[in-house]
Structure 1
Amino acid sequence: MENKYITLKHLMFQQRKYIGLQFYTDKVLLAMVKELPDVEWSEEYNMYYLPNKPKNLDAIYKQFRGVAWINCNYFFPKSSLGRDNPEVDVSSLKNREVKEGLLSCPASYLEKLELKRYAKSTVNTYVCCFEAFLNHYKDRKLEDLNELDIRAYLQQLIKQGYSNSSINQAINAIKFYYEVVLEMPNRFYAIERPRKETKLPKVLAKEEVLAIIDRANNIKHRCIISLLYSAGLRRSEVLELKPEDINGKRMVICVRSAKGNKDRYTLLSHTLLKELREYYLEWRPRHYLFEGPRGERYSAESVTQIVRKASKKAKIKKRVTPHMLRHSFATHLLEAGTDLRYIQLLLGHNSTKTTEIYTHVATNVYKNIRNPLDL
C-alpha cells in the first residue's frame, strides 16, 4: 500500500453532490476506480467522481482496503464550534432593511454564523463580503457557480484595487457558504489566495501621543485615548471594558474575551487610574466603563472620531487611528528595553513572530549605528 493515496473531494454538478477521487496516475488504482458504481470523469476538475451517497462511500472504502490510503481531510468537516465564544445575535441582520434591487444574506448563512459563535466583527465582515458576492451574481443560482466564476469575481476585486486582506476575507465568506452552510467542505480547494501583505505599523512619537491626550474634549475622551495607548488595547477591547475590570490594587486591567476569545492582563497607568476615578465619579457608568447617552455600550465609530478630532487639534498631519495608539504602546515599550515576550503577553499575541514586527520600527535599533555620511 506504499505511496498509494486517494483523496476524496466534494464536487457539485447541477445542484447535486458528488464524491471526487483525486490520485496520482497509477494503472492499478485507475482500473479499480473504473469498477466503482456510476463513476464518471470530469474534464473540468480533472478527476473521477460518483454520486455522494453513503453506499458509494462505503464502496470506496471496501474497494481500496489494503490497496490505498483514503485521505478524508478535505471531505469530512472539522468542528469549529466555539463553545466558549459569547453568543452572537443575528436578528438585527435578519430584520434590517435592504436597498431595493439588492439581495440580502440568506437566513441559513446567518443562522450558521450564529451557531458557530463567530465573533461579532467576523459576522459583520462575512455578511458584507458575501452580500457583495451575492449581488455580483444575483441573476444566477449560487449552487450553479464554480471555481471559474469565483476566480472571475476575485479578479474584478483585484482590478478595483482591493487589498490582499480584503480579498482573503471575500474568499473566507464565500467558502463559508459552500463549505459550512451547504456542508460541502473544501469545494473550492483550487482557489489561490493572495499572499499576505507585510506592512510596517504606523507609530506616533510619545510627544505626539501626549499632545493628543491633552487636546481631548473632556475627561471621558481623555480616558479612552489614554487606555488605547497606555494599555495597548484594541478599540473593541476598550468598548468591552467594565468598571470591575480596572484593578487599582494590582495596577492591572483585565481584558476579557479579546481576540481569539482569550482573557489577559495588561498594564494600568498610575496617571490614568486617577483620571478614571474622576471620570467614574462624574459619569457613573452602570454596565460598561464607557456608555452612550442611553446606557448602551459606546460605539466604535465614536472612539475613532474622538481620536481623530483630538489629533487634529494637536496639529498632527498624519491620519491617526485608535490602532495606531496600540502600535505606539508596543513600540515605545520595546524602545525602553522591555523584553519582547512581555510585550507579546500584554498585546495578547499568540506568537512572538507577530510581535517581532515592532522591531522594524523601534528607533533604538538604529541609534548605535553611525550613518556613513557622518563617518
Structure 2
Amino acid sequence: MAQKKIEEVTDDFWDNVVSDTNRELIEAFLDQQHLSDATLKQYTSALKIFAKWVYDFCFVKKDGEEKIIPELKPRDALKYQNWLISKGLSSSAIKFKRSAVSSLCNFIELYYNDEYPNFRNIYTKAVPTVAKNSVKEKVPLTMKEINKIAKELEKRQDWQKLAYLWFTYSSGCRREESRQLLVEVATYDKHVDKKGNAKDYYITHNIRAKGAGKEGKVRKFTFDQRAMDAIKKWVEYRSLQVNQTFGDTCPYLFVSKNKDDYRQVSPNTFNLWCKEFSKILGGKPVHPHLFRSSRATNAVVEEGKDIKAVQKLLGHNSSQTTEIYVVRDESDDLDDLY
C-alpha cells in the first residue's frame, strides 16, 4: 500500500497544538453546512494540513509564536504552494488544497471583517497556479472489451460485478452514483412516457449526483434491458445466500458481507473490481470513471448518436461538457484531408 505524501493531522495536534484562533476560524468555516459530506471531509483534511503548515513554517519572530491566518500574506500563500509541490503532489491535489485555503480566506474576509478589517485573500493573481501534470492518454473501452469482461464474469457466476458492469456502463453514472442504487430497481417496469408509450429502458429512483452544495444534483438515471437482466440475476443469487443465521436488510444493490448481514459497498470496492476487469483485458487500465467516457464515446463515435442525447444521459448542462468525455480518433480527420 502506497504511503501518503503528506501525513494526516492527528486529533491531538489539532486540539492541543494548533492555535485557538486558527482552529476556531477553520471550524467556523467548516460548520457552514453548505458542503456535501464527501467534500466536507476533503476540506477538513486540506485545512488541517494547512493549519499544521502554518504552525511549522509561519511564526512571529519577536515571541516565537505561530501567525494566525489573518496575518498571512500572498508570499505565505506562495511558500505553502511551493511546499506542496516539493511533496510531490499532483497538480489537481495542489489546486484543491489551494482552493480550500482560498475559500477559507474569502470566508474570513466576509464574516470577520470587523475583527480583521485589513485582511485579504492571500491567493491573489500574483500567486501563479501550478502547471498541470501530464496525464495518461484516456483510452475508452470498446464494446468488444466490455463483452469480454461480461463473458468472463458470467463464466465465474460473479453476478454482482456483472450487474455493476452493465448498469454503470449503460447509465454512464459515476462511482458514487452506482453505489447509491437500491435493490428495489429489480422490481421496476420499463419506463412509460406521459402519452402511455412504453420505452426500451428503465429509470432509477432519485440519486444524488455530482453537484455543488450539500444536496448536490438529484436526478434519475436510465439503464437498458441488459443491465436489468444482470441486476435480476444478482438479486436472485443474493437472496439464495440468505439463511437463518445470515440476514439481508441492506437496501442497496451493491453490497459486501458484514458479520451476519450485508452492507453497502465502500467506494473503493468498485476500484478493486475494476482491477479485476483490467486483468481480464490483459492489463489494460480500467477504473470506474472510464465507463462514463466509454459510454459517451461508443454512443457518439461508434453508434452515431446525437451529442445532445448523450448529454441528457450523462446529466450535463452543456454538450460542451459532454464532448470532453468523447474520445475521437483525430487521424480520421487527416484521412479526409488526404
Q: TM-score, normalised by structure 1?
A: 0.63
Match of 2:46 among 129, 143, 154: 129
* Higher relative contact order (Cα pairs below 8 Å, separated by 6+ residues): 2
**In the alignment, is the contact (CA less than 8 A) between 1:229 and 1:328 conserved in 2?**
yes
Alpha carbons of structure 1 residues 195 and 345: separation in structure 2 relative to 1, 3 Å? farther
> In the TM superposition, what whole-angstrom CA distance separates every residue of 1:68-97 from its partner, at most 9, and x where no partner exists?
xxxxxxxxxxxxxxxxxxxxxxxxxxxx99
Distance in 1 (CA, whole Å) between partners of 2:38 and 2:13 is: 26
- Listed as ranges, the matches of 1:1-375 within 5 Å are 98=10, 106=23, 109-110=26-27, 112-139=29-56, 140-143=66-69, 144-180=71-107, 183=111, 187-188=121-122, 190=124, 191-194=127-130, 201-216=138-153, 218-245=158-185, 247-250=188-191, 251-254=201-204, 256-260=207-211, 261-284=216-239, 286-294=250-258, 295-312=262-279, 314-335=280-301, 336-359=303-326, 361-363=327-329, 366-367=331-332, 370=335
Cα shift at 1:330:
0.9
Cα shift at 1:259:
0.8
Aligned-residue sequence identity (percent) comes to 24
Paired residue for 2:5? none
Alpha carbons of structure 1 residues 282 and 338: separation in structure 2 relative to 1, 3 Å? same
From the two aligned structures, give the one with the greater helix fraction: 2
Paired residue for 1:12? none
Q: How many corresponding residue pairs?
A: 275
Report the structure number with the largest CA radius of gyration. Answer: 1
Show structure 1 runs of 5+ residues with no match. 1-95
Q: TM-score, normalised by structure 2?
A: 0.70
Aligned residue identity for 1:350: N
Alpha carbons of structure 1 residues 178 and 303: separation in structure 2 relative to 1, 3 Å? same
> In the TM superposition, what whole-angstrom CA distance separates every residue of 1:140-164 from its partner, at most 9, and x where no partner exists?
2342322211111112323444333
3-state SS of 1:127 partner: helix
> In the TM superposition, what whole-angstrom CA distance separates every residue of 1:209-239 from its partner, at most 9, and x where no partner exists?
2222333451112111222212111000011
**In the alignment, is the contact (CA less than 8 A) between 1:215 and 1:310 conserved in 2?**
no
> In the TM superposition, what whole-angstrom CA distance separates every residue of 1:34-54 from its partner, at most 9, and x where no partner exists?
xxxxxxxxxxxxxxxxxxxxx
Cα shift at 1:367:
4.4
- Which moved further from structure 2: 327-336 or 143-152? 143-152
3-state SS of 1:257 partner: strand
Alpha carbons of structure 1 residues 194 and 235: separation in structure 2 relative to 1, 3 Å? same
- Root-mean-square deviation (Å): 3.2
Alpha carbons of structure 1 residues 321 and 215: separation in structure 2 relative to 1, 3 Å? same
Distance in 2 (CA, whole Å) between partners of 1:163 and 1:341 is: 33
